[in-house]
Amino acid sequence: MDWLQLFLLGGLAILLMMTALWLVSVAATDASLVDIFWGPGFGLAALTYFALSEGWAGRKLLSLALTLVWGLRLGLHLYRRNRGKGEDDRYRRFRQHYGPERYGWVSFFQVFLLQGALMWLISAPLLVAQLSPTPSAFTLFDALGSLMWLIGFAFETIGDWQLAQFKANPANYGKVLKAGLWRYTRHPNCFGDACIWWGLWLIACSSPWGWITVFAPALMTFLLVRVSGVALLEQNLAQRPGYREYIESTSTFFPWPPKRRPKDED
């Protein structure tokens, strides 16, 4: 089976998953379900490529394991964070704009099909890493990619945990988290997510022509910075008391020592 057939089958698996999620979301009147399955969806693509490809077993297992660990952790984190809160405001506004009945169909194309297409394109390094039988040994790219993945996973996991602990304290309601990793970047979880995908791309670079999938981590980084991550969060937080001072002192994305010690640090 050649790479195109495998890639198309990965896309088909994602399409089936997104269609099933869409049907559940229509019944539940909650398009937010799609967010929980963003990470696990990449795990499904990786499993599809793993089962059908004939690449070197060591790299296949490495790529699959790292994708599953990241995807399942992210999905579980979002499930816990969103449980019992109803539909996200983003989708609620779209539902009001298009009308409750019409949005059922609109959401399939606007939300589920769009995210599925992005997921499919970004999964390209997962395919390449598992496709080639050579080199049949770990390379420097595998080591660098695993290290980059580990750094990203640490930033994303610790950043999410610190934010959850901060929000769990009622005394912090309306305040801005400026401690821990959040002292050095306003979005450590988004930075970590980007690192994870650059790491998976580096692992794919061990295989012939793996470098050509550079569009995948670049697209993921663009989405994190300009679309669904940093830009959206900054827009929602801009009016929060103390956030303007936080912006002036703290790096947006890449970790960096603060320009000055933030006031009223928590």
Two tokens at 227? 């679309």
Give the mean model confidence (pLDDT) for residues 130-144. Answer: 96
Which residue, chain included where needed, has tokens 């609109």? 106
Is the model's pLDDT at 227 over the cut of 80?
A: yes
- Residues 6 or more apart in contact with residue 213 via CB below 8 angstroms: 124, 125, 128, 201, 204
Report the C-alpha gap between 262 and 133 in whole angstroms. 52
241-250: which pairs have CB atoms within 8 A and are 24 or more residues apart?
A: 241/174, 241/175, 241/176, 242/175, 242/176, 243/176, 246/176, 246/178, 246/186, 247/186, 250/178, 250/182, 250/183, 250/184, 250/185, 250/186
Give the mean model confidence (pLDDT) for residues 52-79. Answer: 97
pLDDT over 70 percentage in the chain: 97
Kindly report the pTM of this predicted structure: 0.94
**Given this model, what pLDDT does residue 101 score?**
86
**Given this model, what pLDDT does residue 234 score?**
85
Give the mean model confidence (pLDDT) for residues 136-148. Answer: 98
Give the mean model confidence (pLDDT) for residues 158-170. Answer: 96
Two tokens at 216? 């995948």
CB 192 within 8 A of CB 157: yes
To the nearest 10°, report the CA torsion of 152, 133, 64, 45. 110
Two tokens at 160? 């999410």
**Given this model, what pLDDT does residue 265 score?**
45
Alpha-carbon torsion (7, 74, 62, 216), positive or negative: positive
Give the mean model confidence (pLDDT) for residues 121-145. Answer: 97
CB 199 within 8 A of CB 226: no
Two tokens at 194? 């980007």
